[in-house]
Amino acid sequence: MYPIYMEVLTLNKIFIAAISLLLILAIGIGSLSAAQNSKPTLDGGAILYTLKDNQSTYRAIVTYKDADGDLPKYMFVYLNGSRRTMVKVDEKDLNPKDGIIYTLQITNEEFLQFTKVNNELKYYFRTNDGHGVVTTAESSSLTLDYEQMGLSMEHSSGSGGKCGR
């Protein structure tokens, strides 16, 4: 009976060693895949404004890009500390590798609420691709929304073109 007991004991050791090896490999592969994740980028983050009929409107805009193809878990713009959820410009766009544009429309009344304390605006964008948080630097600049106003930057200063007479 002693040899059968030794065989069972040896099989148990082999089984435990095999399970341990599988767990170590699984942990290693999980760590390797997490280490290879590329952080997403937030490009072109800005607050754009338009002027029409003596009324101003604003919109926050940013482009989310992720080389791994990870979609964002959320997209926020923080306006003077107030978190606002942004939405995709094109709901059908599911390709973060070439960039997904997010926006938030802001009325003049909302904008005035954000800036009423000290008459200035500070904002930044924040997202998470499921592997970690990414934020932009804080900004306070506003940019004229040429597209919404139907204007062209073709003849703006610094375009390198000649001025005709």
Q: Specify the pLDDT at position 153.
A: 62
Residue showing tokens 């964002």: 72
Whether 162 has a pLDDT exceeding 50, the answer reads no
120-133 mean pLDDT: 95
Whether 163 has a pLDDT exceeding 50, the answer reads no
Tokens of 52: 């029409």
Q: What is the dihedral of CA 149, 153, 155, 157, to 10 degrees?
A: 120
For residue range 97-126, list pLDDT tens digits in order: 999 999 999 998 999 888 887 888 999 999
Q: Specify the pLDDT at position 17.
A: 72
Q: How many helices (H) and strands (E) does the chain have?
A: 3, 9
Is the sign of the CA dihedral 82, 88, 91, 94 positive or negative? negative
Tokens of 26: 């699984």
Closest CA to 103 of 117, 93, 115, 113: 93
Query: Within its chain, how far is the Cα of 18 from the centroid?
Result: 42
65-78 mean pLDDT: 96
The amino acid that residue 158 corresponds to is G
pTM for this predicted structure: 0.70
Whether 54 has a pLDDT exceeding 70, the answer reads yes
Q: Specify the pLDDT at position 94.
A: 94
Q: Would you call 79 helix, strand, or coil by DSSP?
A: strand
140-160 mean pLDDT: 70
Distance CA 43, CA 63 (A): 5
- Which CATH superfamily is 41-148 part of? Immunoglobulins (2.60.40.10)
Whether 131 has a pLDDT exceeding 90, the answer reads yes
Whether 1 has a pLDDT exceeding 60, the answer reads no
Whether 5 has a pLDDT exceeding 70, the answer reads no
Whether 28 has a pLDDT exceeding 70, the answer reads no
Return mean pLDDT, the chain: 83
48-64 mean pLDDT: 91
Distance CA 85, CA 76 (A): 5
User: By the 8 A CB rule, do 63 and 44 touch?
Assistant: yes
